[in-house]
Amino acid sequence: MPIRKLPGTATADAGVFWDDKVNHKGWRIQYNHTLDVASPLKPFRLLDPKSTLWASADTLEEMVEALPRLCEEFSAKEPLFDSDDARAFGKMAIEILKIVGPTVIKQVIKTAATRRL
């Protein structure tokens, strides 16, 4: 299958599921073994030196073969959002859940109790 080009999005870069397989001038190809079986997501991904996600692929070979071309192409692009933006989005989502979450949970419990009657 072909390499899927992505719009340049920040990652958590926590390294929990992803292992570095190739490092080329700060560009990394990482592998996630949990995506190997029956997943619509591709198990290999390409990150730039700032840990921005730019591409994914089914095999390491196809990613390595395209690496120089992809690095050149993506070096000239601006990411969709950076790590600071991702952290700000996460904080906003948590604040929204703090406000809306308890109300939604109460409504779900009330609805479930009503359906049991």
For 35, which DSSP code? G
Tokens of 77: 């692009």
DSSP 44: E
Q: Are residues 17 and 54 in the same domain?
A: yes
pLDDT of residue 10: 80
Question: Looking at the structure, do residues 35 and 67 belong to the same domain, yes or no?
Answer: yes
Q: Name the nearest CA neighbour of 10 among 92, 79, 97.
A: 79
Do residues 29 and 58 both lie within one domain?
yes
Question: How many angstroms separate the CA atoms of 70 and 18, rounded?
Answer: 20
Task: Please say if the pLDDT value at position 114 is more than 80.
Answer: no
Higher-scoring residue by pLDDT: 115, 32? 32
Q: Which domain holds residue 32?
A: 4-75
Instruction: Let me know whether 71 and 115 are in one domain.
Output: no
> What mean pLDDT do residues 53-65 have?
93
106: three-class secondary structure by DSSP: helix
Q: What percentage of residues in the chain have a pLDDT greater than 90?
A: 37
Q: Is the pLDDT of residue 74 over 70?
A: yes
- The 10s digit of each residue's pLDDT in 10-31 is 887 666 789 999 999 999 999 9
Residues 87 and 70 in one domain: no
Q: Do 99 and 47 share a domain, yes or no? A: no
Q: Each residue of 87-98: pLDDT tens digit?
A: 787 788 888 888
Q: Is there a single domain that holds both residue 52 and residue 14?
A: yes
